[in-house]
């Protein structure tokens, strides 16, 4: 079941989408054991303390620049990379982190210039077997999908983003739960419960609260992956 294309690490970013997709296609079918061996990256016993390990591993093969900049992974060609854990039916096992939510300085922000829209404008989705019943080393990489939101998806995202940002601006961030939003949700995104950041309180005063992140709900990612399989 392995791809006939030999594994090779990327030494530079892809020049265009076609090259990126060619690299991603070449990984489909391989196990994490095979990829980690070729990359010289030891496999952790589990992901408990290495939650981003698969993402970092795939970045090496695709030529993404590792770093902590609020940029797309392949900024030169405007593409974001997302690995997504899936079950045996290709359905997402987890929500997908998009970006940190700005909790202050939001007067006049719009969907058009939002970080969420920028990050999701073009995404290379790479499904990876994620069931914990499968040992990490034996999990396989799936077929990649280069995606942009269609009109309906962008409208869904926009509606949720505007609802959530309204609440943030109105000082109601601490009243927001993960149940808000149809396809986009706001949840804590922090190292731990003691990491606090500034936000706007109910009376317009500054408060300290947990940093939040925007996440794609599983119903949304499930649909976009399903579209891929059915077409």
Partner DNA sequence: GATTGATCATGG
Partner DNA sequence: CCATGATCAATC
Catalog residues that contact DNA under the rule CB under 7 A: 46-52, 54-56, 58-59, 67-71, 73, 80-85, 93-95, 97, 99-100, 119, 128, 130, 132, 177-179, 185, 187-193, 195-198, 210-211, 213, 217-219
The residue (of 67 and 204) whose beta carbon lies closer to DNA is 67
> 209: helix, coil or strand?
strand
Whole-number minimum distance, CB 180 to DNA, in Å?
A: 8
The residue (of 26 and 210) whose beta carbon lies closer to DNA is 210
Q: Half-sphere exposure (CA, 13 Å, Cβ side) for 103?
A: 28
The residue (of 119 and 151) whose beta carbon lies closer to DNA is 119
Please choose, from the candidates 80, 170, 70, the residue with its C-alpha nearest in 3D space to the C-alpha of residue 126: 80
The residue (of 151 and 205) whose beta carbon lies closer to DNA is 205
Whole-number minimum distance, CB 15 to DNA, in Å?
A: 19
Whole-number minimum distance, CB 2 to DNA, in Å?
A: 22
The token duo for 115 is 């970080």
The residue (of 4 and 169) whose beta carbon lies closer to DNA is 169
Whole-number minimum distance, CB 18 to DNA, in Å?
A: 21
Judge whether 122 and 148 are in contact, CB under 8 Å.
Answer: yes
Judge whether 42 and 103 are in contact, CB under 8 Å.
Answer: no
What residue spans of the chain are helical by DSSP H? 17-27, 32-39, 53-62, 115-120, 151-169, 218-230
Q: List the end-to-end C-alpha distance of the chain, in Å, as a whole number.
A: 22
Strand ranges inside 61-177, DSSP E: 80-86, 96-100, 123-129, 145-147
Whole-number minimum distance, CB 79 to DNA, in Å?
A: 11
The residue (of 68 and 205) whose beta carbon lies closer to DNA is 68
Judge whether 184 and 157 are in contact, CB under 8 Å.
Answer: yes
Whole-number minimum distance, CB 4 to DNA, in Å?
A: 25
């Amino acid at each position: 079941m392995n791809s006939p294309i030999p594994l090779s690490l990327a030494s530079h970013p892809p020049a265009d989408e076609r090259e990126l997709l060619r690299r991603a296609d070449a990984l489909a079918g391989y196990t994490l054991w095979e990829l980690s061996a070729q990359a010289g990256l030891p496999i952790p016993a589990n992901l408990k303390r290495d939650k981003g390990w698969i993402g970092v591993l795939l970045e090496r093969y695709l030529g993404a620049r590792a770093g902590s900049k609020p940029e797309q992974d392949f900024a030169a060609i405007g593409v974001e990379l997302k690995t997504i854990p899936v079950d045996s039916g290709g359905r997402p096992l987890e929500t997908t982190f998009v970006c940190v939510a700005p909790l202050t300085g939001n007067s006049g922000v719009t969907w058009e210039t939002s970080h969420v829209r920028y990050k999701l404008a073009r995404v290379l989705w790479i499904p990876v077997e994620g069931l914990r019943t499968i040992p990490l080393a034996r999990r396989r990489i799936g077929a990649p999908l280069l995606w942009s939101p269609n009109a309906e998806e962008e409208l869904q995202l926009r509606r949720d983003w505007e609802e959530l940002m309204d609440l943030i601006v109105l000082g109601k961030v601490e009243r927001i739960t993960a149940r808000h939003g149809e396809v986009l949700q706001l949840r804590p995104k922090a190292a731990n419960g003691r990491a606090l950041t500034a936000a706007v309180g109910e009376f317009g005063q500054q408060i300290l609260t947990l940093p939040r992140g925007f996440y794609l709900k599983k119903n949304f990612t499930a649909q976009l992956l399903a579209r891929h399989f059915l077409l």
